[in-house]
Amino acid sequence: MKNKVSFIPQEGEAQPSRCPDNSAFKQQKLPAWKPQLTIATVLSSFFLIGAFCLSVGVCLILSSNSVKEIQIDYSDKCSDCSKLRENSSNWNKECHCSVNFTLEEDISGDVFMYYGLQNFYQNHRRYMKSRSDVQLLGRNVDIQKSYCAPFTTYRNGTPMAPCGAIANSMFNDTIDLFYNRNSSAIQVPLLKTGNSWWTDKNVKFRNPKSYNLSSAFAGTARPPYWQKPAYLLDEEDERNSGYVNDDFIVWMRVSAFATFRNLYRRVQRVRQFADGLPAGNYTFHISYNFPVTKFKGRKQVILSTVVWSGGRNPFLGIAYVVSGAAAILMGFVITAIHLKLRKKKTYFQK
């Protein structure tokens, strides 16, 4: 065992200094802005920030209130289909229901259709991790080593495509909109593509490479709760099928809250719908496939327009107004304290 040798300075020898180098950086002598906080600068800052937040908040609230929106809850109106879907043995049986409603005034401009869910928690840690991003890129992957369990393979070893709890629970109600005019029902043309982000459609989601889509998914099986395989998600347009299906991509972007809405369709502005949705009587024809009663959930269809600040959501505007009001109130409090101390001449000396 080697002896440890430590350096012990002899008497009279200079000990090494621990002082930082005599440089502008290490001695903190670099030029810097050192504001002098006076009563004038502090009060002006509070009042300017408050006025700015108030003005922005009022603009956001007015913009949000200008959005035209109608919400239709069809959880109870489709109760017969809901009871049918609660029995898992009826998974392959179709059930349809209709919901009538009236638009009192025109909804002009671009009209967006959303589906809304209540009490559906997508923010559970294991649920959010239950996916394979490598598989969604169209690459060969051993999903047994992924986080998709228990939705990885069937008992016979056939892998699921796509795997994971998120994909398995995908919203699969089919919603069509009809305009009732002169005792005839006119189907409103809806666009089912262009509803996802460009980065999702072109970067994060890719189909496996093959000469056709069905062969690309050969050797795999649909998730248990799906009614058809991934390559048949859109039988009319193969470019919107598989992993790059817009409805699937939108669903895979999980929500942080238990109540949320996802973009489902956009109204195509053609013929009598060129300016949006005219006032009148309408009907939703719904193919009911997504059960919600077991987790005490609710389902909605929302028709809405958008403005420069987005859809109807006054939260951000209210937050700005509250922040601005708090800043102005604090400014008045500081002013009152300053005047009181000035009157008594009790300023602190430096």
What percentage of the chain exceeds 70 in pLDDT? 94
Same domain, yes or no: 62 and 159: no
Same domain, yes or no: 87 and 224: yes
pLDDT category at 69 given cuts 50, 70, 90 is very high
Same domain, yes or no: 281 and 313: no
Helical spans, DSSP H, in 224-306: 246-252
Query: 133 or 91: which carries more pLDDT confidence?
Result: 133
Contact 302, 70 (CB under 8 A): yes
Alpha carbon distance 93, 344 (integer Å): 84
Same domain, yes or no: 156 and 225: yes
> Is the per-residue pLDDT at 29 higher than 90?
no
Distance of CA 98 to the CA centre of its chain: 28
Instruction: Answer whether the bond into residue 314 is a cis peptide, omega within 30°.
Output: no
Number of domain units in the chain: 2
Q: Give kind and range of the element (H or E) at residue 167.
A: helix 165-168
If phi over 0 gives left and psi between -120 and 50 gives alpha, with beta otherwise, what is residue 12?
A: left
pTM (two decimals): 0.81
Alpha carbon distance 134, 206 (integer Å): 10
* 152-199: pLDDT as tens digits: 999 888 999 999 999 999 999 999 999 998 888 999 999 999 999 999
Same domain, yes or no: 288 and 325: no
Tell whether 177 is covered by a domain: yes
Alpha carbon distance 249, 266 (integer Å): 16
Alpha carbon distance 102, 281 (integer Å): 4
- pLDDT value at position 350? 46
Degrees (nearest 5) of the Cα angle 130, 133, 139?
130
Same domain, yes or no: 160 and 297: yes
Tell whether 345 is covered by a domain: no
User: Smallest Cα–Cα separation from 84: which of 76, 73, 95?
Assistant: 95
* 78-91: pLDDT as tens digits: 888 888 888 777 77
Same domain, yes or no: 176 and 233: yes
Same domain, yes or no: 63 and 137: no
pLDDT category at 116 given cuts 50, 70, 90 is very high
- pLDDT value at position 44? 92
Residue 78: domain span: 73-305
Same domain, yes or no: 58 and 77: no
Alpha carbon distance 312, 301 (integer Å): 15
Separation in Å, CA 14 to CA 10, 22, 23, 28: 9, 19, 22, 26
Query: 137 or 85: which carries more pLDDT confidence?
Result: 137
> Is the per-residue pLDDT at 2 higher than 60?
no
Tell whether 113 is covered by a domain: yes
Tell whether 339 is covered by a domain: no
Neighbouring CB atoms inside 10 A of 162's CB total 27
> Is the per-residue pLDDT at 33 higher than 70?
yes
Alpha carbon distance 350, 348 (integer Å): 7
Same domain, yes or no: 58 and 201: no
Q: What is the mean pLDDT of the chain?
A: 88
Angle formed by the axes of helices 315-344 and 39-65, to 10°?
Answer: 160
Same domain, yes or no: 164 and 183: yes
Tell whether 96 is covered by a domain: yes
- pLDDT value at position 178? 95
In this prediction, residues 108-120 reach a mean pLDDT of 94
Same domain, yes or no: 170 and 297: yes
